[in-house]
Amino acid sequence: MKKLVWILLFFSFFSSAVAVSVGEVPISWKEIRSKYNWKTNPSFPESESVDLFESVLYTDGRLFFQTKDSTKQSSILIWNLESGESKKFPWDGGRVTGWTECSGKILIQTTKTLWDLDAKTLVVNRKLPWPNNGKSWQDIVCLDHKIYRLVSEQLEVYDLESGELESKIPVPFSSVQRITKRGESDILFLSSFWGNTIQVFSPKDPTNKKEWKFPVNHRALFKLVTLSEDHFLIFDPITKIYGEWMVFENSILPLLTPVEVADGLRAYRFSPIQNKIQYQFQLTALIDVPETKYQLVLPKQNTSSQNLKDEVIHPSAVEEVDGAGNRSLVLTFPPLKAGDTRDISVYEAILTRYKIHWNLNPNLTLSKNQNQNGMESYLLDDWFLKLNEDVVVQKRNTLFQENTNLKQILTKTQEYVSSIPYKSGSFEPAPKVIEKNNGGCTEHSYVTMALLRGMGIPSRLVWNYLPTESSKEITFNHKFVEVWVEGLGWIPMEPLAAPRSKPGVTYARHVVFAGLPGTNHPKIAGGDRLVQLSKDQLDLNKKIKFKLVVVKNDSTNDEIDGTEEKVIPQKTNRALNSGEEMVVP
């Protein structure tokens, strides 16, 4: 037994040492974690309810809520984010209609009064006469010794010391429902009318406007607070959404699991899912057969969007790696008699998959990206591309004109290809797909490659599994394209899974098996499949019945990030038995 373990460990080590893709760029990753522990959802007191449109106040690791009990009695409830404990704060100052943190103080707005409390002790420092006669909630924000209050379509600006109204600023965005502070200089505008978008406004520089798509239910945004300028927290007892999010470039990513940042801020990967996978191989000899060998395609190892560890390979199998870093196993069986069967676990590993977001250099031009050494095979024309046919050339000219900016070219490509309606295809070349304006994932990939290679941009076809996370099996059911970008390496162009139209960004967490310059895997002759007899034994196809099942065990971590991506359904006819063709859309 010990000898077998050492053999398997050797194969695992050898695998990790050699599986390197052409054009791969070394990257190191650094984890960014949440400030607080969100492994278990908070248990908010069932006796207390909160109002949808009333804000949450954050200071010094505590959240403040105005709550009501079953008798409709209002209270202030304080939630400790470190301990997860809550307690009621004795408050007899009247109904709260707005509050804000202000340089170590808490300002509470009630009818005709602004209360100044010490943030740590909650002792009242002073009371200020305040022009607030209503009982409805009106958000206030303290920035630079001034109070900003949202009233209808404007911000009222008050002096903090005197409580006098200084000015009124028209709100630069329509239908604002909530405001909260972002750091010490900006205000965040929130509204359910915008879906899940938040707007950033700087009173000192009104021209400096930003907006982000926030990946949560829009109602949960009403319970958003800032931990720092680009670090947000949502604690919403109504929608049961709790957690932290962080701004990375133009995206907001969840921190319920660590976000990994590539050196140089080149990319972010996040929301990992980890599974134990097993290759279970079964065969039955229908007649007497000689020694047979089988080719099994393995997942690519340690790419930017997937990692493999604890790999175990059966001693009757040998790993091979081609020049593009694609891995396969050669599985050998001795001669078999008619009726002999074999059922073995030939490979197993722990697979971690990520959502991935690459940051494209907006200034990179084609002249710096063309004709890279070793990329020649990823620039060639082929039957499925037909780079020089009129319809392909015309489409390139229409999309790109004289543009040489790489990011803009990739973006226009992705936007166009993602707009092509999905329809289960028949592997037609790019010109035909452009003309008929529909196709499956294979045909979407052909169009992408025809457009990019025609511009001198290296691209390759990716064999992969587009996940259904509830499935217990991994199949080869999908294709997309990877494009080579200077300084980044190979990045995805995925038009059929969220977010669809952004180059270098995909949330699908594919299982990637191979990246190919053409349509065929070097170890697989004809058809799209993960297993077949070796090429010199294909005449034995009808004499042996065999199949491969790739088992995906349940995730080893419970991921809750408040989002659910939708992918276009893929229709597949999975071929596991020899002699069958596998239809990949």
The SS3 of residue 511 is strand
Q: Report the pLDDT value the prediction gives residue 556, as an integer from 0 to 100.
A: 54
* pLDDT beyond 80 at 177: yes
Share of the chain above pLDDT 90, in %: 72
Residue whose C-alpha is closest to residue 66's, from 106, 98, 44, 105: 98
Q: What amino acid occupies position 518?
A: G
For residue range 205-223, what is the model confidence (pLDDT) as tens digits? 887 778 888 888 888 999 9
pLDDT at residue 572 greater than cutoff 80? no
Cβ contact 462:299 at 8 Å:
no
Q: What is the pLDDT of residue 503?
A: 97
pLDDT confidence of residue 194: 82
CB atoms within 10 A of CB 417: 26
338 in Cβ contact with 285 (< 8 Å): yes
Using DSSP's 3-state secondary structure scheme, residue 569 falls into coil
- Predicted pLDDT of residue 368: 59
Domain-wise residue ranges, the chain: 49-254, 362-516
Task: Please state the rounded mean pLDDT for residues 333-361.
Answer: 96
What is the CATH code for 49-254? 2.120.10.30
Residue 585, pLDDT above cutoff 50:
no
Burial class (CB in 10 A: 0-12, 13-18, 19+), 357: buried
Model confidence at 3, in pLDDT bands (50, 70, 90)? Answer: very low
d(CA 504, CA 489): 11
407 vs 361: CA distance, rounded Å: 7
**Average pLDDT score over residue span 391-417:** 97
Going by the DSSP 8-state scheme, the letter that residue 220 receives in this structure is: G
Q: Supply φ then ψ for residue 321, to 5 degrees.
A: -130, 125
Residue 554's pLDDT is 76
Rounded Cα gap, residues 531 and 295, in angstroms: 5
pLDDT of residue 21: 73
If pLDDT is split at 50, 70 and 90, which confidence band does 370 have? low
pLDDT on residue 83: 93
Helices (H) and strands (E) counted in the chain, each on its own, are 5, 37
Q: What is the mean pLDDT of residues 11-31?
A: 68
Half-sphere exposure of 553 (CA within 13 A, CB side): 13
Extract the tokens encoding 93: 């100052």
What is the C-alpha separation between 95 and 75, in angstroms, rounded? 8
In degrees rounded to 5, what are phi and psi of residue 370? -90, 155
Compute the residue count for the chain.
Answer: 585
What pLDDT is stored for residue 565 in this prediction? 42
> What is the pLDDT at residue 64?
98
Rounded average pLDDT over 392-400: 97
Does position 159 have pLDDT exceeding 70, yes or no? yes
Query: Which residue, 143, 136, 209, is CA-closest to 171?
Result: 209
Enter the tokens of residue 354: 């990520």
Does the pLDDT value for residue 4 go beyond 60? no
Query: Whose structure tokens read 């259904």?
Result: 468
What's the token pair of residue 451? 């457009």
* Model pLDDT for residues 340-350, shown as the tens digit of each residue: 999 999 999 99
Q: What is the rounded average pLDDT for all residues in the chain? A: 88
In this predicted structure, what is the pLDDT of residue 19? Answer: 57
Q: Are 296 and 280 in contact (CB under 8 A)?
A: no
The tokens describing 259, both together, are: 């976000």
Q: How many other C-beta atoms lie within 10 A of the C-beta of residue 240?
A: 13
Question: Given phi > 0 = left and psi -120 to 50 = alpha, else beta, which region is 374?
Answer: left
Selected residue with higher pLDDT from 150 and 567: 150
| Confidence (pLDDT) at 371 | 58
Using pLDDT thresholds of 50, 70 and 90, give the confidence band for residue 358: very high
Q: Are 184 and 200 in contact (CB under 8 A)?
A: no
* Residue 251 confidence (pLDDT) above 60: yes
Work out the angle at residue 437's Cα, subtended by the Cα atoms of residues 435 and 441, and round it to the nearest 5 degrees. Answer: 120
Q: Write down the pLDDT at residue 206.
A: 80
Distance between CA atoms of residues 123 and 383, nearest Å:
78
- Residue 256 pLDDT: 87
> 275-310 in b/e burial notation, b at 16+ Cβ within 10 A?
bebbbbbebebeeebeebebbbbbbbbebbbbbbee
Distance CA 372, CA 27 (A): 19
pLDDT category at 378 given cuts 50, 70, 90 is very high
pLDDT tens digits for range 430-445: 999 999 999 999 999 9
pLDDT tens digits for range 65-95: 999 998 888 999 999 999 999 999 989 999 9
Q: Are 135 and 95 in contact (CB under 8 A)?
A: yes
Fold of 362-516: C8orf32 fold (3.10.620)
Average pLDDT (50-72) is: 94
The answer to whether the bond into 499 is cis (omega within 30° of 0) is: yes
pLDDT band at 574 (very low <50, low <70, confident <90, very high): very low
Does residue 583 have a pLDDT over 60? no
The band of 579, judged by pLDDT with boundaries at 50, 70 and 90, is very low
The encoded tokens of residue 221 equal: 């945004």
What mean pLDDT do residues 35-47 have? 90
